[in-house]
């Protein structure tokens, strides 16, 4: 996928995730999600933290340095209103960082070593799409994910899952070829399609 397409897909996926974050009701933060280790609040905190790392990683900092920057960007809170506010800040920061001139020309340090920045972006897109599905499923959100984001990342999804360290995704779930694309996508990550 070319850089402009990746950036557009990222923005669409991030907007879809944000839409679902803002739809979480006060009594839904402790609901379980299809990612069984996390509640809705835990899952959102994971994305807040992940997107706080984007700017320092793209600036060339190593994992320890980027982690220190990310830790200083705001509270580690599971309170719903705080989470939403911190998500909006982290999302704006990561979108600006990925959209900056030359942001995808270098490499970044992630847990498995240095990778091309475009590869890092692909993984962030998959994470946004899958976790948007997780939150939507948990809270009963009915609006479908944007077809362009799902179709944009689906051709890369198997490669991303294959290069991701073991334990990050469960074994693929059963998905038939005639199922909707989003169902086949989430099945690759070990989730059971709805």
DSSP per-residue codes, 31-80? -B-SSTT-BHHHHHHHHHHHHHTHHHHHTT--HHHHHHHHHTTS-----H
Residue 47: closest CA among 141, 170, 158, 129: 129
Residue 187 confidence class, pLDDT cut points 50, 70, 90: very high
Buried b / exposed e along 47-58 (16+ C-beta atoms within 10 A): bbbbbbbbbbbb
Token couple for 82 = 């705080």
* Confidence check: pLDDT of 135 > 70: yes
pLDDT in tens, 16-49: 999 999 999 999 999 999 988 899 999 999 999 9
Query: Would you state the pLDDT for residue 83?
Result: 95
In sequence order, the 6+-apart residues with CB closer than 8 A to the CB of 20 are: 132, 135, 136, 139, 141
What is d(CA 74, CA 137) in angstroms, rounded to the nearest whole number? 28
* Confidence check: pLDDT of 2 > 70: no
Query: Would you state the pLDDT for residue 109?
Result: 94
pLDDT in tens, 145-166: 999 999 999 999 888 888 876 6
**CB 54, CB 124: distance < 8 Å:** yes
Mean pLDDT for the chain? 92
Query: Would you state the pLDDT for residue 54?
Result: 97
pLDDT in tens, 116-125: 999 999 999 9
Stated as kind and residue range, the H or E segment containing 109 is strand 107-110
């Amino acid at each position: 996928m070319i850089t402009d397409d990746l950036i557009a897909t990222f923005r669409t996926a991030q907007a879809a995730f944000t839409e679902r974050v803002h739809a979480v009701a006060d009594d839904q933060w402790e609901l379980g999600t299809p990612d069984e280790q996390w509640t809705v609040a835990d899952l959102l905190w994971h994305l807040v933290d992940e997107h706080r790392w984007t700017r320092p990683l793209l600036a060339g900092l190593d994992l320890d340095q980027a982690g220190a920057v990310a830790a200083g960007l705001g509270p580690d809170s599971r309170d719903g209103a705080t989470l939403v506010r911190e998500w909006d800040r982290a999302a704006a920061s990561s979108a600006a960082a990925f959209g900056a001139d030359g942001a995808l020309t270098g490499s970044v340090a992630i847990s498995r070593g240095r990778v091309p920045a475009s590869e890092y972006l692909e993984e962030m897109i998959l994470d946004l799409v899958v976790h948007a599905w997780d939150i939507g499923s948990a809270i009963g959100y009915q609006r479908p994910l944007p077809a362009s984001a799902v179709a944009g990342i689906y051709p890369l999804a198997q490669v991303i899952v294959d290069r991701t360290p073991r334990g990050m995704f469960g074994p693929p779930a059963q998905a038939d070829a005639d199922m909707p694309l989003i169902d086949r996508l989430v099945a690759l990550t070990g989730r059971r399609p709805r």
